[in-house]
Amino acid sequence: MTTSLPTPKVPSKRREVRPTDQPPEGALTPDAKPILSFTAKRRGKAPAHIADLSQAERRALVKDAGFPAFRADQLSRHYFEHFTADPALMSDIPASMHEAIRSTFMPDLVNEVVAQRADGGLTIKHLWELYDGARVESVLMRYTERTTLCISSQAGCGMACPFCATGQMGLTRNLSTAEIIDQVRMAQRACEDGLLEGGPTRLSNIVFMGMGEPMANYRAVVNALHRLIDPSPEGFGMSARNVTVSTVGLVPAIDKLAAEGLPVTLAVSLHAPDDDLRDDLIPINSRWKVGELLDAARRYFVATGRRVSIEYALIKDMNDQPYRAQLLADELNKRGKGWVHVNPIPLNPTPGSIWTASTRRTQDEFVAILRNNGISTTIRDTRGSDIDGACGQLATAVQEGGRKGSSSDAPAVKPQLAASQQQGTNTQENR
């Protein structure tokens, strides 16, 4: 097992900011510390839905309800191909099934609370309310050659990262597979209906980088991966290469995912190359150190053949020093060449945080050091800077301000979007 990394030597007297320089956001006392939590505040279970089930299980459910098993295939195609859960739009389904569809097969799971537009209509951020009042966010982003959806896997988050708006909420509960997948169905319909600027498009990419730690809701997330990747009527039939699962560093879950046979991309939210800083910046580092995490990421690459993404939010005077860029390059290179890609991310600070984005000069120097050491590196393109773009910011703003619509400089998406089935960093995609 890789031992803890030594504290890097600081080669200059440049001021350094530490995560402990202020209490975590929302703390009630000056000496408050981030508290990891894997225990949900709520124990309720979302209503069962066909998206929770395999196709064989759907057939059994429909048959047990007194209908022919082939109706399960029809319902699945409506959901995964036509992106609808409204029986009134299913012309091949008898009226006698409509009530069962609404109550048993496709109950209402996700309802719009707030929608915000940004980036000239190329980005739409939604706050959704679930059956028990819990709220989650998703962000739909259109680019020149792809359209990406960032989805949530938990309501809140128990990882307690002090710079993350969602981490400040704590963990409310895990989402069911169907609650995760219904975010995707809504986005599929929005793309088909042309609700993003530029007209109709096709949803091509999914990133599990919304609210929550995906690996802490492992079984529901893996089932959701099958619904994304498996061909219709099992699922949406998306390319596994275009699906990314992020983690702050749950090492056993990384190894478990590597053995699932699902060639999705793994993204590691690293944010610091040394344990001295990461212990305070990412509390889960107290359980699995940087070396252990990078070893697991390397094993994932070996098992799947999929290059691992390293997410690194550049925080001014905290983790953006040249010596840390060199340490990051050294740690990655000593585990091999060509297995990893680094995404430095311009920070979008949570309101009130002492942390802010690195200067452009510092950012460029950090990237140059990585590239000069042979590390594939791409600055991430930020989205949603003119709205509550960071994970958890929209939910927090609505909760604290009682806001029913989006701000005047970020026009609300029209309400008919819902009717027609529509990481404290910015929501991002590679430039």
| 191 annotated ligand binder | no
User: Taking the domain 50-105, which CATH number applies?
Assistant: 1.10.150.530
Per-domain boundaries in the chain: 50-105, 109-387
CA distance to 136, 139, 354, per residue, from 403 (Å):
15, 18, 25
| 157 annotated ligand binder | yes
Q: 374 is written with which tokens?
A: 């042979």
At 328, phi and psi to the nearest 5? Answer: -60, -45
- What radius of gyration do the chain's Cα atoms show? 22
Q: How many CB atoms lie within 10 A of CB 409?
A: 9
Please, which residues have CB within 8 angstroms of residue 10's CB and are 6 or more apart in sequence?
16, 321, 323
DSSP state of 315: B
Nearest residue to 335 (alpha-carbon basis) of 312, 311, 313, 307: 307
211 close to 392: Cβ distance less than 8 angstroms:
yes
Determine which one of 234, 331, 391, 429 is catalytic. 391
| 103 annotated ligand binder | no
Q: What pLDDT is stored for residue 168 in this prediction?
A: 75
Please tell me the distance from the alpha carbon of residue 74 to that of residue 66, in angstroms, as a whole number. Answer: 15
| 150 is a catalytic site residue | no
Whole-model pTM: value is: 0.88
Determine which one of 25, 137, 311, 331 is catalytic. 137
Class of domain 109-387 (CATH, top level): alpha beta
76 close to 50: Cβ distance less than 8 angstroms:
yes
Strand pairing report for 340-346 and 135-142: unpaired
Q: What pLDDT is stored for residue 380 in this prediction?
A: 83
| 292 is a catalytic site residue | no
Q: What pLDDT is stored for residue 384 in this prediction?
A: 61
| 270 annotated ligand binder | yes
Is the C-alpha dihedral spanning 405, 121, 346, 408 positive or negative? Answer: negative
CA distance to 108, 128, 142, 212, 412, per residue, from 123 (Å):
25, 16, 6, 21, 12
Q: What pLDDT is stored for residue 175 in this prediction?
A: 98
Q: How many CB atoms lie within 10 A of CB 96?
A: 9
| 213 annotated ligand binder | yes
Q: 237 is written with which tokens?
A: 């039939």
| 271 annotated ligand binder | yes
Cis status of the peptide bond prior to 411, with omega within 30 of 0: no
| 164 annotated ligand binder | yes
Nearest residue to 174 (alpha-carbon basis) of 132, 205, 127, 206: 132
| Strand-by-strand arrangement of the 205-208 sheet | 111-118, 123-129, 135-142, 147-150, 205-208, 243-247, 265-269, 308-314, 340-346, 376-377
Nearest residue to 105 (alpha-carbon basis) of 79, 139, 136, 131: 79
For 248-309, the DSSP string reads: S--HHHHHHHHTTT--PEEEEE---SSHHHHHHHSGGGGTS-HHHHHHHHHHHHHHH-PPEE
Q: What pLDDT is stored for residue 246 in this prediction?
A: 98
| 212 annotated ligand binder | yes
Q: Which residues of the chain have pLDDT under 70?
A: 1-13, 25-28, 348-353, 383-431
| 348 annotated ligand binder | yes
